[in-house]
C-alpha cells in the first residue's frame, strides 16, 4: 500500500444524514477526497451535474458499464448508481483517503475487489427518527419514501459486514468519531507493511555493523 490513501465506504439508511456528515468531514480536514457517483436518477432541487452526481441517461450509464469505467454499480429504488474508476485510483495514489458514499450492495462489491477498504455504516439513533428525517427532507414523494424505508429494512440485514457502526445523533460528535476511526486505521500494521519492513532491514544492518 505504501503511502496510498485508504478507500472508505460510508453507507447508511436513506435519511441517515450521510451527505451532511461527509460534507463537514471534508470541510474540516484536507486529507479526504469524495468520489462523485454517476446516477440515472433525476437531480433534486439544488443539485447540479458534476457536484452531487454525474447525472446520466440509462443509455449513457450502460455505456460506462460496458467500457468498464465503474468500480461498482447497483440498482437502488429503480435507478442505477455507480462509482467512476479513474478519479478514485488517481486520488488514492496521491495519498488521499477517498470516500465512497454508496449503498450496501455496492459496498460489498468494493470490499470484494479491494479487501483493504474500510466500511463505515451510519445510522440515526432509531427507526422513527429515520422516518421523520426522510419526511422532513421533503424531496421525495410518499411512494418513494415508502420504497426507501423498505430498502432500509433490507439493508439493516447487511450491517454486520461493516467494520464500524456509527450513530449520527449529534453532527459534531459523529464527524469527529469518524475522523478518529480513520486516523487510527492509518496505524494498522497491515497498512504499514513497507515501513515495518524497512525498519526491520535497517535494524539488521546495525547488528552487522
Provide the 10 A C-beta neighbour count for residue 162: 20
CA terminus-to-terminus distance, the chain: 30
CA–CA separation, 196 and 205 (whole Å)? 14
Nearer to ligand 5GP, 32 or 76 (CB): 76
CA–CA separation, 95 and 132 (whole Å)? 38
123 near ligand 5GP (CB under 6 A):
no
> If we measure between CA atoms, which residue out of 19, 51, 14, 47 comes closest to residue 171?
19
What SS3 string covers 49-116?
ECCCEEECCHHHHHHHHHCCCEEEEEEECCEEEEEEHHHHHHHHHCCCEEEEECCHHHHHHHHHHCCC
**One residue of 74, 144, 149, 167 binding ligand 5GP per CB under 6 A:** 74
Nearer to ligand 5GP, 84 or 192 (CB): 84
Residue span binding ligand 5GP (CB under 6 A) among the ranges 68-76, 120-128, 165-173, 189-197 = 68-76
- Which residue of the chain is nearest ligand 5GP when measured via CB? 106
Identify residues 82-101 at the interface with ligand 5GP (CB under 6 A).
Answer: 82-83, 101
Backbone angles phi, psi at 124, to 5 degrees: -70, 165
The nearest distance, CB 203 to ligand 5GP, in angstroms, is 44
109, 72 Cβ separation under 8 angstroms: yes
81 near ligand 5GP (CB under 6 A):
yes
61 near ligand 5GP (CB under 6 A):
no
Nearer to ligand 5GP, 97 or 101 (CB): 101
Report the DSSP pairing between strands 37-39 and 79-84. antiparallel
103 near ligand 5GP (CB under 6 A):
yes
69 near ligand 5GP (CB under 6 A):
no
The nearest distance, CB 201 to ligand 5GP, in angstroms, is 41
User: What residue ranges bind ligand 5GP (CB under 6 A)?
Assistant: 14, 37, 41, 72, 74, 76, 81-83, 101-103, 105-106
Amino acid at each position: 500500500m505504501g503511502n496510498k490513501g485508504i478507500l472508505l465506504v460510508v453507507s447508511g439508511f436513506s435519511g441517515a444524514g450521510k451527505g451532511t456528515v461527509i460534507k463537514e468531514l471534508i470541510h474540516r480536514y484536507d486529507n479526504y477526497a469524495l468520489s462523485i457517483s454517476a446516477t440515472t436518477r433525476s437531480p433534486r432541487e439544488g443539485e447540479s451535474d458534476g457536484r452531487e452526481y454525474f447525472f446520466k441517461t440509462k443509455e449513457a450509464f450502460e455505456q460506462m458499464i460496458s467500457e468498464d469505467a465503474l468500480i461498482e454499480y447497483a440498482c437502488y429504488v429503480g435507478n442505477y448508481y455507480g462509482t467512476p474508476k479513474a478519479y478514485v485510483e488517481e486520488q488514492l495514489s496521491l495519498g488521499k483517503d477517498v470516500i465512497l458514499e454508496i449503498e450496501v450492495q455496492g459496498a460489498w462489491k468494493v470490499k470484494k475487489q479491494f479487501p483493504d477498504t474500510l466500511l463505515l455504516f451510519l445510522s440515526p439513533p432509531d427507526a422513527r427518527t429515520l422516518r421523520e428525517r426522510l419526511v422532513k427532507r421533503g424531496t421525495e414523494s410518499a411512494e418513494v419514501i415508502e420504497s426507501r424505508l423498505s430498502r432500509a429494512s433490507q439493508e439493516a440485514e447487511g450491517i454486520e459486514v461493516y467494520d464500524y457502526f456509527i450513530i449520527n445523533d449529534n453532527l459534531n460528535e459523529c464527524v469527529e468519531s469518524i475522523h478518529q476511526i480513520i486516523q487510527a486505521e492509518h496505524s494498522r500494521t497491515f497498512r504499514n507493511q513497507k515501513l515495518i519492513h524497512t525498519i526491520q532491514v535497517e535494524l539488521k544492518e546495525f547488528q552487522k555493523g
